[in-house]
Amino acid sequence: MNASETPQKEGKPVDQYPDQDKKTEEHPQGSGLGQQGRPRNYWHYGLLSCWEDIGTYCMSCWCPCMIYGKNKQRLDHLQDHNTADPEHGGSGCDSDCCMHLALNVLGGFGWVLQFGQRGALRERYHIDGNPVNDCLTAFFCTPCELTQESQELAEEERGASSTERQTHNT
């Protein structure tokens, strides 16, 4: 089982269908499902749990383009292969990093790339949220947002690795 199959909220397990008694706009019958009929999940780590990964947080403060590049490579690898990136995002100095850096230098717009990546991450793991919150988080909380994404990817990579080991052992 990987991290996307177990709904979590701020690192604490929640019921399989956390809002099953609540009515939702997408499903007025109160099924607790999102728009695509899947259970809604929550971030494993809160936005301010960036202090639990101080190294990534510091790099996100001083060189957000590198953390963005690493996160992008890890997410792309998970989406393409459904396994953890063996390079753990590599050095982070790649075309994605350069694009983020260029947008930051040209007017502080690197957060626009982060906004899109955050949405892709939420979509992959069926994490509750919306584009407005993604935009505000990427703009106002860049280091915390990048660290949270890195922690979420690490959680998924651990889940993918354990699933892969179980598959090989059976």
What are the extents of the domains in the chain?
Answer: 46-169
Q: Which H helix or E strand runs over 52?
A: none
- For helices 142-169 and 54-62, angle between their N-to-C axes, nearest 10 degrees: 130
What pLDDT score was predicted for residue 88? 86
Say which DSSP state 73 is in.
H
What pLDDT score was predicted for residue 170? 56
pLDDT exceeds cutoff 60 at 10 = no
Q: Contact, 29 vs 21, CB < 8 A?
A: no
Cα angle 147-68-114, degrees, rounded to a multiple of 5: 85
pTM here is 0.72
pLDDT tens for 69-128 read 999 999 999 989 988 888 888 888 899 999 999 999 999 999 999 999 999 999 988 998
User: Which of 17-26, 36-45, 141-150 is modeled with the greatest confidence?
Assistant: 141-150
Of the ranges 1-5, 12-16, 110-114, which one carries the lowest mean pLDDT score? 12-16
